[in-house]
């Protein structure tokens, strides 16, 4: 007799796979798509936003700037299924996505540049020089 470790989550996954094959797709529709993960870093010269967009083509990504909010949006399209393939588990999210970030006051919005490589979108947002405080003497009368 073989002992098998009981894993309740595995049994739930198996249940939904067998009896509710559309469960994962419905969950995706409920939240309106998916949200890519992003890391934001800062150096002396710029802010850098790195958004993970695996399997998303450059032409399917749109970057907009409106009222100091930069938005990355687009769509990850599902590949066509092959006839002789049975999907055992699908953990990837497909569909529309959107992610927004509020920019600080000290950025040069005209010099923002984007590049995409290996499924990672990099937004380089250069900083402007901070306004130096002005010292004014006020005469008391």
Which domains does the chain possess?
33-77+93-126 (2.60.40.790)
Largest CA distance in the chain: 100
Q: What is the pTM (predicted TM-score) of this model? A: 0.67
pLDDT in tens, the chain (141 residues): 566 677 767 666 666 555 544 444 433 434 457 889 999 999 999 999 999 999 999 999 999 999 999 999 999 988 777 777 787 887 788 889 999 999 998 999 999 999 999 999 999 999 998 766 778 888 898
Decide: 127 and 105 in contact? Cβ < 8 Å.
no
Rounded Cα gap, residues 70 and 103, in angstroms: 7
Q: Which residues, in sequence order, are bridge partners of residue 122?
A: 50, 115
């Amino acid at each position: 007799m073989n002992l098998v470790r009981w894993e309740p989550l595995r049994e739930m996954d198996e249940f939904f796979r067998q009896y509710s094959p559309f469960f994962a797709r419905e969950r995706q529709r409920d939240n309106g798509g998916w949200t890519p993960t992003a890391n934001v870093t800062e150096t002396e010269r710029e802010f850098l936003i790195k958004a993970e967009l695996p399997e998303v083509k450059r032409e399917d990504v749109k970057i907009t700037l409106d009222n100091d909010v930069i938005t990355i949006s687009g769509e990850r399209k599902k590949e066509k299924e092959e006839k002789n393939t049975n999907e055992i588990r699908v953990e990837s999210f497909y569909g529309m996505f959107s992610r927004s970030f509020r920019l600080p006051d000290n950025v040069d919005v005209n010099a923002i540049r984007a590049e995409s490589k290996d499924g990672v979108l990099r937004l380089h947002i250069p900083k402007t020089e901070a306004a130096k405080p002005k010292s004014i003497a006020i005469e008391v009368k």
